[in-house]
């Protein structure tokens, strides 16, 4: 049989999708699974979005669309950028894609040759690593431990950029940690970025409308407008507007980069579908009360989830100030055993949780796990707590051969 391309040796399925699919499979098999794996909002877009989609169907042209994106979407996105205080962008600075993941993939293709330096902070959203590996980048991880609130310091960034990576990818608010950089922190990092002209900066800021506690959303460009020559802002409708399945991602940056993404689009997706574009334009330009309301709800859920996690002896969960993830340190469970298996790391813990208790979370090495809290409800909180108390009534499809091990070795994670 002929062989696959070498790059496929470096390509892995997205870890988060793997957990989500396992959770779905178990559900289909009749298990009572609580999935905190994939980061999906628990709401649908406003009625005006559906109305726009219906109208678009009624006048469907049936044609291919623009490789860059429909003008209505680009204009609505420019309006959204303006609301974020990011002014001065034109259609030529923007491009669309099939989700932010596709935009990020396109950017990696457009900006990185094999072996080029690609720097980003860890903990990171798992797809950064997967994409970097597929394009063969030289990955330069910048460790951001809990002692520095999972955030990059200016000194650290300065040292990293001194090595002249081709691309520095910055994510704020962060998936998986939920940390949000303050205005002063962004200003200080922007000064560092400005001193290193050889590096493209991607700011993956798709959670820009999900910021809590009045911290506010800030971008390097707010403090250093000249950085617009090198900063590529990435956005998505998935989380903000409750539209993950519509698959709309966006970017705004230098014209040359937007053009490169458009060229790549022309060679694989051609365009977003007409009906999707109509819905996207309506979401971005219509009433913004849905995202605002949801942000308030997520903040309340964040409070409940974090309080419940921190109530578990040995588990430490910092307070996320954005997005909808909780990122507890669950290393207290390591070395303990469950069902006869020693829990050596986050992956073992997540596997044990899913198999034994039907609770799906995402491992995030080395010592933390991520739980998406968008779907947290009182009922789910109760059921998860019951799971972690080591209920004696084992799940029928996964009987626990060592029920006595639950209590003394209580492996704990994130009840919601
Ligand atoms: N960037 C970050 C930080 C994310 O968390 C996600 C999705 O979870 C994406 C990008 C991809 O979003 P999309 O659904 O638009 O592909």
Read off the pLDDT of residues 250-260 as tens digits, 9 standing for 90 and up: 999 999 999 99
39, 97, 100, 246, best to mutate for ligand 1 pocket (most atoms within 8 Å of CB): 100
pLDDT at 404 over 60: no
HSE value, Cβ hemisphere, 13 Å, CA-based, for 377: 8
The answer on 265 and 343 residing in a single domain is no
Residue 206 near residue 236 (C-beta atoms within 8 A): yes
**Which atom from ligand 1 is nearest to the alpha carbon of 171?**
3
pLDDT at 401 over 70: no
CA of 249 to the centre of ligand 1 (A): 9
For ligand 1, atom 3, name the residue with the nearest CA: 175
Q: How many domains does the chain have?
A: 2
Residue 350's CB is within 10 A of a number of other CB atoms, namely: 26
The answer on 313 and 229 residing in a single domain is no
The answer on 245 and 179 residing in a single domain is yes
CA of 389 to the centre of ligand 1 (A): 33
Full-prediction pTM beyond 0.75?
yes
Closest by Cα among 162, 163, 142, 164 to 153: 142
Q: Which two tokens stand for residue 244?
A: 């993950």
Closest by Cα among 73, 61, 41, 65 to 283: 73
**Which atom from ligand 1 is nearest to the alpha carbon of 16?**
8
Boundary of a domain, candidates 286, 312, 339: 286
3-class SS letters over 346-369: HHHHHHHHHHHHCEECEEECCCEE
CATH number (domain holding residue 131): 3.40.640.10
Q: Which residues contact 334 (CB under 8 A, 6 or more apart)?
A: 343, 344, 345, 349, 367
pLDDT tens figures, 337-355: 888 889 998 888 888 888 8
Query: 113-142: string of b/e by CB count within 10 Å (b at 16+)?
Result: eeebbbbbbbbbbbbbbbbbbbbbbebbbb
CA of 96 to the centre of ligand 1 (A): 14
368 pLDDT band (50/70/90 cuts)?
A: low
CATH number (domain holding residue 394): 3.90.1150.10
For ligand 1, atom 5, name the residue with the nearest CA: 175
pLDDT tens figures, 73-121: 999 999 999 999 999 999 999 999 999 999 999 999 999 999 999 999 9
CA of 99 to the centre of ligand 1 (A): 7
CA of 361 to the centre of ligand 1 (A): 17
Query: 82-101: string of b/e by CB count within 10 Å (b at 16+)?
Result: eebebeebebebbbbbbbbb
Supply angle C-alpha 48, 54, 55, rounded to 5: 90
Closest by Cα among 256, 183, 194, 184 to 225: 194
Q: What's the count of helices (H) and strands (E) in the chain, helices before strands? A: 13, 14
CA of 294 to the centre of ligand 1 (A): 17
The answer on 172 and 81 residing in a single domain is yes
Indicate whether 222 belongs to any domain.
yes
Boundary of a domain, candidates 271, 286, 301: 286
- Measured between alpha carbons, how far is 132 from 120 in angstroms, rounded to an integer? 10
**Which atom from ligand 1 is nearest to the alpha carbon of 39?**
8
Indicate whether 202 belongs to any domain.
yes
Residue 49 near residue 173 (C-beta atoms within 8 A): no
212 pLDDT band (50/70/90 cuts)?
A: very high
Indicate whether 410 belongs to any domain.
no
Residue 179 near residue 320 (C-beta atoms within 8 A): yes
Which phi and psi angles does 123 have, rounded to 5°?
A: -60, 145
CA of 313 to the centre of ligand 1 (A): 32
pLDDT at 410 over 70: no
**Which atom from ligand 1 is nearest to the alpha carbon of 174?**
3
Structural domain containing residue 10: 6-43+291-405
Boundary of a domain, candidates 230, 257, 286: 286
Q: What is the mean pLDDT of the chain?
A: 87
The answer on 18 and 61 residing in a single domain is no
373 pLDDT band (50/70/90 cuts)?
A: low
Which phi and psi angles does 365 have, rounded to 5°?
A: -50, 155
CA of 12 to the centre of ligand 1 (A): 17
The answer on 52 and 39 residing in a single domain is no
CA of 290 to the centre of ligand 1 (A): 19
Using the structure block, give the residue that is written with the tokens 């910092």.
318
Residues in the ligand 1 pocket, defined by CB under 6 Å? 39, 99-101, 125, 171, 175, 204, 206, 236, 238, 244, 249
**Which atom from ligand 1 is nearest to the alpha carbon of 100?**
15
Q: Which residues contact 226 (CB under 8 A, 6 or more apart)?
A: 194
């Amino acid at each position: 049989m002929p062989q696959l391309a070498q790059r496929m040796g470096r390509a892995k399925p997205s870890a988060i999708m793997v957990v989500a699919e396992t959770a779905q499979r178990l559900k289909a098999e009749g298990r009572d699974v609580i999935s905190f794996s994939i980061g999906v909002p628990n709401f649908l877009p406003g009625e005006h979005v559906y109305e726009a989609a219906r109208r678009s169907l009624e006048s469907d042209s049936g044609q291919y669309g623009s490789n860059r994106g429909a003008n209505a979407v680009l204009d609505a996105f420019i309006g959204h950028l303006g609301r974020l205080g990011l002014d001065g962008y034109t259609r030529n600075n923007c491009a669309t894609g099939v989700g932010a993941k596709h935009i990020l993939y396109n950017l990696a293709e457009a900006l990185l040759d094999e072996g080029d330096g690609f720097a980003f902070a860890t903990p990171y959203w798992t797809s950064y690593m997967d994409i970097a590996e597929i394009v063969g980048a030289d990955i330069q991880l910048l460790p951001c431990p809990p002692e520095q609130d999972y955030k990059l310091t200016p000194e650290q960034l300065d040292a990293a950029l001194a090595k002249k990576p081709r691309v520095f990818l910055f994510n704020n608010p962060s998936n998986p940690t939920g940390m949000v950089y303050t205005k002063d922190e962004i200003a200080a990092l922007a000064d560092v970025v400005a001193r290193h002209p050889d590096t493209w900066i991607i700011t993956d800021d798709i959670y820009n409308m999900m910021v809590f506690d009045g911290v506010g959303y800030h971008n390097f460009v707010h403090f250093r407008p000249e950085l617009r020559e090198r900063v590529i802002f990435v956005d998505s409708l998935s989380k903000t507007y409750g539209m993950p399945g519509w698959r709309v991602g966006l970017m705004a940056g230098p014209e040359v980069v937007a053009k490169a993404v458009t060229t790549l689009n022309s060679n694989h997706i051609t365009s977003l579908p007409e009906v999707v574009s109509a819905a996207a334009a309506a979401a971005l330009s219509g009433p913004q009360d849905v995202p605002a309301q949801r942000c308030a709800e997520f903040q309340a859920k964040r409070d409940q989830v974090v309080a419940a996690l921190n109530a578990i002896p040995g588990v430490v969960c910092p307070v996320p100030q954005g997005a909808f993830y909780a990122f507890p340190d669950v290393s207290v469970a390591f070395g303990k055993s469950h069902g006869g298996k020693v829990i050596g790391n986050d992956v073992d813990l997540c596997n044990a949780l899913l198999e034994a208790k039907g609770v799906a979370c995402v491992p995030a090495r080395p010592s933390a796990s991520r739980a998406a809290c968008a779907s947290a409800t009182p009922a789910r909180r109760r059921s998860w707590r019951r799971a972690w108390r080591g209920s004696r009534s084992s799940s029928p499809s996964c009987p626990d051969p060592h029920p006595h091990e639950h209590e003394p070795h209580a492996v704990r994670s994130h009840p919601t």
